[in-house]
Structure 1
Amino acid sequence: MNGRPLPPSRDLRLVHVDARERQSVVSLRAGGPSFGGEELAICAGPCAVESREQIVATAAAVARAGANVLRGGAYKPRTSPYSFQGLGRDGLAMMREAADLHGLAVVTEVLDPRDAEIVAASAEMLQIGARNMQNTALLRAVGETGKPVLLKRGLAATVDEWLLAAEYIALTGNEQIVLCERGIRSFDPSTRNLLDLSVVPLLARRTHLPTIVDPSHGTGIAALVAPMGLAAIAAGAAGIMVEVHPDPGSAVSDGMQSLTFAEFDSFMESMPAVAAAVGRRLPKRFAAATLNVTTPP
């Protein structure tokens, strides 16, 4: 291909790389976290908001380690109807309080078009999960809020299908879209999903939208999260999304892929060298946090 962008789908008009002179940067608020610039976006938090104590403690820990966006689910899309479905509006309020206490932005998932405005009132960024990537009514509703949107790749979605889902959002007039690779379904049960890191540099040739990577869902195994997160940054990801929990063993969902606070600290400490190698840097709050660490004699 001689370094040229790959041939586009004829229907990729607003999100295609040629639609903009340069790669987009999506900012969550003035002076706040952004996706696509030199500074990485670090989204961290529990799979689900379980209690005020849990989300406040997690927000404190991830902020202290250098994250700048709090993730967490108030509305949970579960495979089984008998599994924990989330705390709903109460969970949103807890998450907003925790984020405000520790200077974090909020990203959280919307499941129903009727809830889009409700969630938008509590979050800087709205997430479309893998199960809903092609829910066109939801794509439109979330786009119409005017808030930045995190669009996760579907379990078996091609790159064109993923980008066409982003096109639905962009057609509402909202092009503040960030793509998130979170693994695709594979024949091999060794990991929860197959994390497709090749898609990161591929998307840079196909779209002006920034891409982040979720190594928690992409692997389903806590021990693999940090290595694959670092690999994602090396591949050019604009940020990462990681699940962190005070006690993964007692988590109501996804405990097996959640990092402890200490594990997240270690992950963050290993990140600057990799980021620097590809021309990125960690959020300013990470530098501030490291200045407060006392080096033992």
Structure 2
Amino acid sequence: MIVILKQNVKPEQVATFCRELESMGFQINDSKGSDTHILGLIGDTKALSESWLLANPIVDSCRRVSEPYKKANRKFHPDDTVVDVSGVKIGGGNFAVMAGPCSVESEAQIVEVARRVQKSGASLLRGGAFKPRTSPYSFQGLRAEGLELLSKARAATGQPIVTELMSSEHIPLFLQEKVDMIQIGARNMQNFELLKAVGRTNVPVLLKRGLSATLEELVMSAEYIMAEGNPNVVLCERGIRTFETSMRNTLDLAAVPMLKKMTHLPVVIDPSHAAGIAFMVPSLAAAAVAVGADGLMIEVHNDPKNAKSDGAQSLTPDQFDELMDVIRPELEFFGKKLN
């Protein structure tokens, strides 16, 4: 249930009202926007009388919310959430580009790519230290060494780093290396114990949609993170599995406006994993801007032909330069700020 308060209500009146509701067993999600002040009541509200709420002099209106996700729900938080990743803002008109190789392979490789993508306009450096692979015989990443190399690239460029977490056992290592944004990959979207674990950190989370997940399932996974106290969640559409075989996955661009309606969280697009083919990435990136995405995640490798993973979908630094030249005027046209 959401309770909409009247304008210009005194803070002490709100505090008293919240304490009364909390004494009744409800968790309060307090959201004060530019024009509205909303209290989201989380708990079993079936026995809570709407007439009792409306009798309170500070209450303007109230209504019940049927969706199972509460904290992530747009109704609970009408204004867009802006997630701050070590100074880089995502959402609320701020557009962020995350770029870098699928896998961290060496210090020379990750530092070179970091410098090139930063020069082109990428504000965050992506790179895999721990790699989930379909085959157990494929390159699994440099693991702890990979995190150290990402830290060195951050030191060289100042870019915040985004990298995938596969096990809650590795959280202390991620915190030790001060990873700026934790990525939860598509295969772990419904690893609920992992989601709860990252929810107990204050590190921003990039949550990727599962290959066959509905949008509600994606938002419910975000709810797991937020319910543990971490509100800094960015949703990522990275393509879903369909009957089409000419490309790796099918990019669901319609997910962006629908998620914007369902939730207040930022939404970014990963066209590299969606198509799995490098030549398609720039077109899909431009389309992502047009449908209202808050950012892009692009795979860039200095030598794609010899990449240890996903070389076929990786752009060269020169190709990434061209992509950024395309989306800059597009972002200006749609009134978004490249952050």
TM-score, shorter chain, exceeding 0.5: yes
Residues 229-282 of structure 1 deviation map (CA, whole Å, 9 limit, x = unaligned): 010011100000000000000000000000001000011111111112221132
SS where residue 338 of structure 2 aligns?
coil
Structure 2 unpaired stretches of 5+: 1-63
User: Does 2:184 align with 1:128?
Assistant: yes
RCO comparison, higher one (Cα < 8 Å, 6+): 1
CA–CA distance in structure 2, aligned partners of residues 134 and 71 of structure 1: 22
Q: Is the contact made by 1:183 and 1:194 (CA closer than 8 Å) also made in structure 2?
A: yes
Q: Is the contact made by 1:8 and 1:16 (CA closer than 8 Å) also made in structure 2?
A: no
CA–CA distance in structure 1, aligned partners of residues 66 and 103 of structure 2: 36
CA–CA distance in structure 1, aligned partners of residues 237 and 85 of structure 2: 19
Q: Is the contact made by 1:181 and 1:214 (CA closer than 8 Å) also made in structure 2?
A: yes
- 1:1-297 superposed matches below 5 A: 10-29=67-86, 32-122=87-177, 123-283=179-339
CA–CA distance in structure 1, aligned partners of residues 320 and 173 of structure 2: 31
Residues 12-49 of structure 1 deviation map (CA, whole Å, 9 limit, x = unaligned): 111000111311000012xx211103231110000000
CA–CA distance in structure 2, aligned partners of residues 107 and 121 of structure 1: 14
What amino acid sits opposite 1:45 in the alignment?
Answer: G
Deviation at 1:9, TM superposition (A): 5.8
Residues 206-228 of structure 1 deviation map (CA, whole Å, 9 limit, x = unaligned): 00100000000011010000110
What amino acid sits opposite 1:270 in the alignment?
Answer: V
SS where residue 270 of structure 1 aligns?
helix
SS where residue 162 of structure 2 aligns?
strand
CA–CA distance in structure 2, aligned partners of residues 66 and 118 of structure 1: 29
What amino acid sits opposite 2:192 in the alignment?
Answer: T
Q: Is the contact made by 1:25 and 1:36 (CA closer than 8 Å) also made in structure 2?
A: yes
Which stretch has the larger CA shift, 267-276 or 197-206? 267-276
Deviation at 1:146, TM superposition (A): 1.2
Q: Tell me the matched-pair count.
A: 275
Q: From the CA coordinates, give the structure whose radius of gyration is larger.
A: 2
Deviation at 1:60, TM superposition (A): 0.7
- When the two chains are superposed, the root-mean-square deviation of aligned CA atoms in Å is 1.2
Residues 159-181 of structure 1 deviation map (CA, whole Å, 9 limit, x = unaligned): 11111000000011101000000
Q: Is the contact made by 1:9 and 1:160 (CA closer than 8 Å) also made in structure 2?
A: no
CA–CA distance in structure 2, aligned partners of residues 74 and 267 of structure 1: 25
Q: Is the contact made by 1:74 and 1:86 (CA closer than 8 Å) also made in structure 2?
A: yes
**Higher strand proportion (structure 1 or 2):** 2
SS where residue 22 of structure 1 aligns?
coil
Return closer, same or farther for 1:8/1:216 CA change in 2, 3 Å cut-off.
farther
SS where residue 17 of structure 1 aligns?
coil
What amino acid sits opposite 1:144 in the alignment?
Answer: R
What amino acid sits opposite 1:202 in the alignment?
Answer: M
